[in-house]
Structure 1
């Protein structure tokens, strides 16, 4: 028999692993493996190409199609430059809250799921419970991209997925997608007194960013007032930019990074195609007239699909029954939920803690939220013991 933990004890343990996305998460994965295997639960790693990170999944109950995936990511965002009052990787409790990096986003859900493993094992489950822990959600969902196909290729097909991002245990049925693009511009440097002979990469960047801002304005103007998202339209935003050498040299290079936050149903391909078309028809001809070496290179850095609202989706029906939440809830941040749904799996987002605390200094989760999540998982266990899907 393995060791038992309360959700708070397990969360304290998980916070103690520094799993910022630019670091390895293998120590945390090894701990979870040992914990699950101590209870006789078989686990499967899905490593990244470097071998420095891994996702993990496990199944409890009958090895049959149906059941529920409980999904969480193990990585957290950086703490540098934030005013933490204590060590962010040493959890502390104060006034009904547990503090530490990842407490809300989203080790709280992972901890509660893991703490409930003994209860899952005691129950006479008629449908399986799948545990799925990924890496690099915060930087583009690369872990889930490898995890999901591996799960589906090597195990039974689940009926529903609950991604435990912090929603204060509300049932979220939709979120926007995100595509991140890097644009690199090669100009033609000359002395600025001879501006007519050169081409400033920064000036080209300004035109491109203006196009992106203009598309956001167009989307705003034609937004559907009944759209539940806030804002109710797709946004195109330049977040970082760098370039140039000196005030008196036309910039030889410039690069900027854009994120596109798309409404469900829109595809990154359509936006990228429109962007490339503008570059090829309106930008490149003038650039090439100055020098054949001038160019614009567009690279896709990340692409996370949105989560579309389902008509009576099994995951939604189950989560609403267990929580009593019948409101229409959508969010504008992206999650791994869209990836699960893109594989044909009914998916909702529902987990403990508030997104308002995510990525913040002195991040915390209300202990009452852990209790609510534990109750939710207890009721889910009862359901999985009564129904075979």
Structure 2
């Protein structure tokens, strides 16, 4: 295939185009993927889409170099969180540069890494790589790493396996080898409606919900006191958190239903199934005493989202390689937020690390930014990785 020799746009220029696509989770990302493909296809990059069931969103798998196992996959999501209700200093979907910072929704989380990765693919395209370089762009990560699963399921049926996956979430260009797993859950509390003037003759579902929250708080204290501890995390133990509570329609009606959305974020040495089993026992203990009067009294728990944790051994050869390419020997970190890393590790059996430009402290808030310095450091790291793939001599990246 004849390759286009047009000038390669800078990472900042690519980032400006990526930010301009308002790819809020569950909305279409197809226009963004069209742009990325229009950049990569003329350079001879092999491209494959994996569409959502309704066809409005898709993952993109892009590859360079020889077919087969080994090499590196650079992975990132292109969806962003909403901007509604946030007080931005400028249009969040128009990149603004000021005082060495690049402002816009998704600059830190995580279109900055995607821009650097696309630039790296374009730089690598004319080269004869000894080991493959892949780019994975996924959708709907912000709502539970939903999109990437279909792509990984398809890739898992193929014999080829990358030797390393780098998730480019913002770590300040530190290497993270772990994050907690997450279960997103909904508790549906069923009571019995009635007139509020006769409230004792009904069963208030909000009261069931309040009792359930009290039990969740007790479980949290138990995990803090006696659960597994991992001091690499800011919060070194597993956590239980209630984020949403809905119930009731009018003040003079005793509500018959209350829904609570809650989550479990577990360290590797805690079993989330065991934690959930204890919570289910609590739910039954709350509802059971009411059944003589109210046979339908119950608290049902369903899983609505989730992803596995990531735990890559510090002695993995790729860790030493990345440290050498970064040119420093910082201690490994573990991040509080989740990624698709555990899915890559679990579905494909690929050693996975998290390393990307920017800081999550800037993500999900007004005037999100990534610094030009961080974006440049990421660009240098990916160029160094490409050099290693060209040489084909790094045992950590070989099949």
Which consecutive segments of 4 or more residues in structure 1 shift more than 6 A?
A: none
Aligned with 2:102: secondary structure? strand
Residues 306-329 of structure 1 deviation map (CA, whole Å, 9 limit, x = unaligned): 111314224323322222233031
Residue equivalent to 2:293: 290
- Structure 1 residue ranges without an equivalent (≥5): none
* 1:51 corresponding residue in structure 2: 55
Q: Is the 8 A contact 1:245 1:252 kept in 2?
A: no
- Residue in 2 that maps onto 1:227: 231
| Other-structure match for 1:89 | 93
TM-score by length of 2: 0.93
Q: Deviations over 1:171-203 (max 9, x none)?
A: 011111111111111211223443332211011
For residues 319-330 of structure 1, the aligned pairs below 5 Å read 319-323=322-326, 324-330=328-334
Name the counterpart of 2:213.
209
TM-score (norm 1): 0.95
Checking the alignment, whether the CA contact within 8 Å between 1:199 and 1:290 is kept in structure 2 is: no
Match of 1:132 in 2: 136
Q: Please name the residue that 2:390 is paired with.
A: 385
Tell me if the contact between 1:73 and 1:106 (Cα under 8 Å) persists in the aligned partners. Answer: yes
Aligned-pair Cα RMSD in Å:
1.7
Q: Which residue is equivalent to 1:189? A: 193
Deviations 1:133-171 (A, max 9, x none): 000000010111112222332462101100000011100
Which one of the candidate residues 27, 31, 40 is aligned to 1:27?
A: 31
Write the distance in 1 (CA, Å) between the matches of 2:292 and 2:279. 21
C-alpha distance 87-155 of structure 1, shift in aligned 2 (>3 A): farther
Q: How does 1:143-154 map to 2 (within 5 A)?
A: 143-154=147-158
**Structure 2: unaligned runs, 5 residues or longer:** none
1:198-226 alpha-carbon deviations (Å, 9 max, x no partner): 21101111111111111111111235666
Mapped to 1, the partners of 2:321 and 2:306 lie a distance apart of 29
**Structure-2 residue corresponding to 1:301:** 304
Name the residue aligned to 1:65.
69
SS at match of 1:117: helix
Structure 2 residue corresponding to 1:255, chosen from 250, 255, 259: 259
Structure 2 distance, partners of 1:261, 1:267, is 10
d(CA) in 1 for partners of 2:89 and 2:310? 36
Q: Is the 8 A contact 1:123 1:381 kept in 2?
A: no
Does residue 373 of structure 2 align to residue 368 of structure 1? Answer: yes
Distance 2:111 2:81 in 1: 12
Query: 2:268 pairs with 264, 278, 282, which one?
Result: 264
Q: C-alpha distance in 1, partners of 2:306/2:228?
A: 24
The alignment of Structure 1 onto Structure 2 pairs a total of residues equal to 388
Q: Which residue of 2 aligns with 1:98?
A: 102
Cα distance in structure 1, aligned partners of 2:298 and 2:220: 25
Question: 2:40 touches 2:122 (CA, 8 Å); kept in 1?
Answer: no
> For residues 59 and 230 of structure 2, what CA distance do their matches in structure 1 show?
38
Secondary structure, aligned partner of 2:189: strand
Cα distance in 1 between the residues matched to 2:187 and 2:82: 25
Q: Tell whether the 8 Å contact from 1:162 to 1:315 is kept in structure 2 after alignment.
A: no
Deviation at 1:22, TM superposition (A): 3.0
CA contact (8 A) 1:172 1:350 kept: yes
CA distance in 2, matches of 1:107, 1:289: 56
In 2, the alpha carbon distance for the partners of 1:373 and 1:367 equals: 10
> Distance between the aligned counterparts of 1:2 and 1:273, measured in 2?
59
Greater shift, 122-131 or 232-241, is seen at: 122-131
Match of 1:349 among 345, 354, 359: 354
Q: Distance in 2 between matches of 1:224 and 1:299?
A: 25
2:315 to 312, 315, 323: 312
The question of whether the paired residues in 2 share the 8 Å contact of 1:265 and 1:308 is answered with no
